[in-house]
Amino acid sequence: MADTNPRVRTENQVPEYLARIGGEDRRGREWRRVAAARLWIDAPETATKLERGELTAEETPSAVSEPLLGKCAVVGYEDMRAAARSAATAAPSWVRRDRETCFLLGPTFRARLIHARQRLRRLLISEGCPGRIADWQLNTLTRLFDAESCSFYRELGRTEIALESGHGFLQYQPDGVVCVDPPANAPCFSTTMAVLYSLMAGNGVVVRIPRSAPLSTTLLLREIVVPALRELGGPDELVNFCCASPGEALRAWLDEPCVNDIFYQGGSEKGLRLQAECLKRGKKALLELSGNDTVLVWHDADVERVADTLCEAFWASGQLCIAPNKAVVHPRALPSLTRALIPRMRRMRPGYPEDEETVLTPVPAEHSRTDRAEAPEEDGEVLVGGERLDVTGAPDPHGTFLEPTITRVNGLDRASCLSTVREETFRPLLVLAIPHDNDEAEMLEEMIGFVNDNSYGLRNSVWTRSRSVAERFVRGVHNGALIKVNRSHINFTPFLPTHGGTGLSCGVYGEAHYLVLKTCHLQAVEMDEELRTHT
């Protein structure tokens, strides 16, 4: 037997994170045991045995003080259907409240988040989210759900119209029950936005908590969202959350008649199949799928700021769907840009999630290959990176990290043929596509065409000091839901849509999405003027 670790909590002391259905706790049919991210980095085989129950927390030979973070209750098909019915039963009492109360949920949540921030942050880090990225996520949530932002969202939901004889208005009515299936790589952050926007719109919600990092998401819903809702007099049954397999959850929601919307975040292929199935079942599919974003760098760009933005491609080792995957760079900007970019990139090293400078995360084996074969010498080159590393940054063919990689490809026609340009890579790779030197106006049009020639479409950016170039980019780029001009590519901005995209990123109905409106349907009202003014 392995040496025991007397410093850790015993099995009986490990926290249990229960499912919540109909305002009541459920223990589920089994437990999902969650090992600390640090243990996965140091001793993946031990972490696997611990999660499978082949080792107890006390038997785990590790320097990690808490190798077993907790146990999350896992439910099945029938429980997921019951959760949807609970949300459907509770939603009418919530939507009958005045709209102002519903939209107070955002600031109420925000106050509780600020109070619980450090505890949630510690759990996010323990589950593998680097502290720097956790801070970015938590700071974003506090900005998006302040009183001013939520007042703006409320005003979007109603527009008054003076008619020739009488009065009219447009209003958004809630769809009813919104089921949320967040991504495995950022479930807590993504769940928060989906749940709060849906609740503020007047819906009931059900969340499938991913098995990959279930504890922080459960903590946020149980100890921040539900108490905030309760503070405003909302019914406990309105918010339901359960850890479950994605297949069982989606099948349950598709089969349950009371489910109106399914919000899915994940790969494009699976998401588009889900959209087709939702249409057959009379349900609305809200999709947030793969990304393959582009940054255009003109010759007059501030390369120091551009370099900072392009390094966002490596945050979470390129596993953020809104991270830029490629940059189309004016040939005259390339030398100074690479001088600014490569030193920054070299400072981005592997590390444990609690290390304050860490932004890289382990990369699954299926995303680990390098791309030297796709950048032959006559058409481009690997400028830097491409090695597999251990947590110290040393080369290791079996390491869990990938070194950030920058490749250069000469010619946009050549670049368009590469899978690393055409598809989401989901690893720390940035492709610099360089057009052939040409007439400036023709080159700009070619570069804009390159941005538009993208099957995906979440965000696109341009960096230039020229107002005319920026305006041409904004007019000419029809790909994507959000355009950034001389701004951080990944940051969220209050008042602007947080979701949406075009093409493979959001399906045939894709555009910029305010989820607070997307989980509703537009309704028009015409009213006699005499009745309107009658008290």
- Alpha-carbon span 137 to 196, nearest angstrom: 15
Of 55, 72, 89, which one is at a domain's C-terminal end?
72
The overall average pLDDT reported for the chain is 93
Same domain for 185 and 301, yes or no, is no
The mean pLDDT value for 415-420 works out to: 94
Cβ neighbors of 55 (< 8 A, separation 6 or more) are 2, 46, 49
Share of the chain above pLDDT 70, in %: 94
* pLDDT score recorded for residue 60: 82
Domain containing residue 215: CATH number: 3.40.605.10
Same domain for 310 and 350, yes or no, is yes
Same domain for 158 and 282, yes or no, is yes
The mean pLDDT value for 503-520 works out to: 96
Beta partners for residue 520, in sequence order: 174
Q: What is the largest CA-CA distance in the chain?
A: 85
Instruction: Tell me, yes or no, if 288 is annotated catalytic.
Output: yes
Residue 533 reports pLDDT greater than 90: no
Given a contact cutoff of 8 angstroms between Cβ atoms, the answer to whether 200 and 102 are in contact is: yes
> Would you list the DSSP string of 229-282?
HHHTT--GGGEEEEE--HHHHHHHHHH-TT--EEEEES-HHHHHHHHHHHHHHT
Cβ neighbors of 96 (< 8 A, separation 6 or more) are none
Residue 258's identity, in one-letter code, is: C
Residue 535 reports pLDDT greater than 70: no
Q: Per the domain annotation, does 3 fall within a domain?
A: no
At 7, the pLDDT band (50, 70, 90 cuts) reads very low
Residue 4 reports pLDDT greater than 50: no
Residue 18's identity, in one-letter code, is: L
Burial 67-106 (b: 16+ CB within 10 A, else e): bbbbbbbbbbbebbbbbbbbbbbbbeebbeeebeebbbbb
Given a contact cutoff of 8 angstroms between Cβ atoms, the answer to whether 427 and 419 are in contact is: no
Range with lowest mean pLDDT among 17-21, 39-43, 264-268, 376-380: 376-380
Range with lowest mean pLDDT among 214-223, 322-331, 378-387, 419-428: 378-387
Same domain for 385 and 486, yes or no, is yes
Tens of pLDDT, residue by residue over 171-218, are 999 999 999 999 998 999 999 999 999 999 999 999 999 999 999 999
Residue 92's identity, in one-letter code, is: P
Number of domains in the chain: 3
The mean pLDDT value for 207-232 works out to: 97
Residue 534 reports pLDDT greater than 70: no
Q: Per the domain annotation, does 171 fall within a domain?
A: yes
Query: Which of 51, 127, 288, 374 is flagged as catalytic?
Result: 288
- Alpha-carbon span 200 to 151, nearest angstrom: 11
Tens of pLDDT, residue by residue over 254-310, are 999 999 999 999 999 999 999 999 999 999 999 999 999 999 999 999 999 999 999
Same domain for 429 and 444, yes or no, is yes
Share of the chain above pLDDT 90, in %: 87
* pLDDT score recorded for residue 166: 86
Sheet architecture: strand order including 158-163: 158-163, 166-174, 520-527
Tens of pLDDT, residue by residue over 30-45, are 999 999 999 999 999 9
Domain containing residue 464: CATH number: 3.40.309.10
Same domain for 97 and 221, yes or no, is yes
Residue 364 reports pLDDT greater than 50: yes
Same domain for 60 and 187, yes or no, is no
Beta partners for residue 405, in sequence order: 429
- Alpha-carbon span 80 to 214, nearest angstrom: 16
Tens of pLDDT, residue by residue over 142-164, are 999 999 999 999 999 999 999 98
The residue written with tokens 């909302």 in the block is 234
Range of the domain at 251: 75-289+511-524
Same domain for 229 and 207, yes or no, is yes
Q: Per the domain annotation, does 338 fall within a domain?
A: yes
Residue 195's identity, in one-letter code, is: V
Residue 421 reports pLDDT greater than 50: yes
How is residue 141 written in tokens? 């949530």
Same domain for 252 and 310, yes or no, is no
Half-sphere exposure of 172 (CA within 13 A, CB side): 22
Tens of pLDDT, residue by residue over 88-146, are 999 999 999 888 999 999 999 999 999 999 999 999 999 999 999 999 999 999 999 99
Residue 406 reports pLDDT greater than 90: yes
Tell me how far the alpha carbon of residue 523 is from its chain's centroid.
30
Same domain for 52 and 178, yes or no, is no
The mean pLDDT value for 476-486 works out to: 98
> Would you list the DSSP string of 157-180?
TEEEEEETTEEEEEEEEE-SEEEE
Same domain for 332 and 471, yes or no, is yes
Residue 362 reports pLDDT greater than 90: yes
Nearest residue to 513 (alpha-carbon basis) of 294, 324, 286, 176: 286
Half-sphere exposure of 150 (CA within 13 A, CB side): 25
Q: Per the domain annotation, does 532 fall within a domain?
A: no
- Alpha-carbon span 39 to 127, nearest angstrom: 10
Same domain for 122 and 270, yes or no, is yes
- Cut 0.75: pTM above it: yes
Q: Per the domain annotation, does 340 fall within a domain?
A: yes
Q: Per the domain annotation, does 91 fall within a domain?
A: yes
* DSSP label of 504: G
